[in-house]
Structure formats: C-alpha cells, structure tokens
Amino acid sequence: MAISFDKALGVHQHTLGIRSQRAEVLASNMANADTPGYKARDLDFKTALANAQSNVTSRQNLAQTDNRHIAASSEFTPELKFRVPNQPDTGDGNTVDVQTERNSYLQNSLEYQASVQFLSSKFKGLTKALKGE
C-alpha cells in the first residue's frame, strides 16, 4: 500500500511554503520603508493555499493521464496584492507602515513555526507507523 503524503501531511506542507513566501514579501516591505513611491504588498493566504492545493490536484490528474504532458507554470501570483494603507500618504507615495509590517512578520513567523511543529509530529507518527511501534 502506497503512502500519499498529500493525505498524510494535510495542508501543512503547503502552508510552510506560503508562510515562507509571505515572510519574503513582508521583509521586502520593511526594507523599502524609506523608498519613495514604494507600495506595500502582502500575500492573500487563503488564495495562495487554494492555488497550492489546486496545483497538487492538477499534477495528480496530469500524472494519471499521460506522462508526456508538461506542467505549465506562471510567474503571475494572484495572491500577491497591494496593502491598503492605515495612515494617510506622507507625501512621498510610500505606503509602508513599519509597525504593521513588523507585527505581520512576527505573526507570520509564529504561524510558520506552528506548521513546522505540526509537520514534525506528522513525520514522527509516520515513522512510528513504519517501524510498527
């Protein structure tokens, strides 16, 4: 009987990658806090998770049809959106609020760590099952 990692690991394998991408976006926002005209961006987690799960489903369907099919990918990410500023424009067109970015980054890192811990416990359970413990 084959083990389906998609079923065994649940959404946590996808959330880990999305949280990593979001950390990069938030870090970019903080790095550009003083750049005139820079617009703060953020990742829509719900859309990104749905896209990640649909990509897995389409790859599984593709694998079932014909091994000569080529999976297409796109650099366009609909889950990456501009953030609505909480404060009025300071005159330089920059919409980054450093406090908001820091808070979002901290929250994202805590959620990333939670996903790592969930995955770790899932792998421990799989290891025990394989060993027959």
Q: Which residues contact 42 (CB under 8 A, 6 or more apart)?
A: 22, 25, 26, 29, 80, 81, 82, 83, 104
pTM of the shown model: 0.74
Residue 86 pLDDT class (50, 70, 90 cuts): confident
Please state the φ and ψ torsions of residue 81, each to the nearest 5 degrees: -130, 160
Mean pLDDT throughout 73-95? 76
In this predicted structure, the answer to whether residue 61 has a pLDDT above a threshold of 50 is: no
Lowest mean pLDDT among 70-74, 94-98, 106-110, 121-125: 70-74
Cβ-based neighbour number of residue 25 at 10 Å: 21
HSE at residue 21, side-chain half, CA atoms within 13 A, is 17
Of 76 and 91, the one with more pLDDT: 91
Q: How far apart are CA 74 and CA 91, in angstroms?
A: 35
CB 95 within 8 A of CB 89: yes
pLDDT at 74: 45
pLDDT at 3: 67
66-79, pLDDT tens digit by residue?
555 555 444 446 67
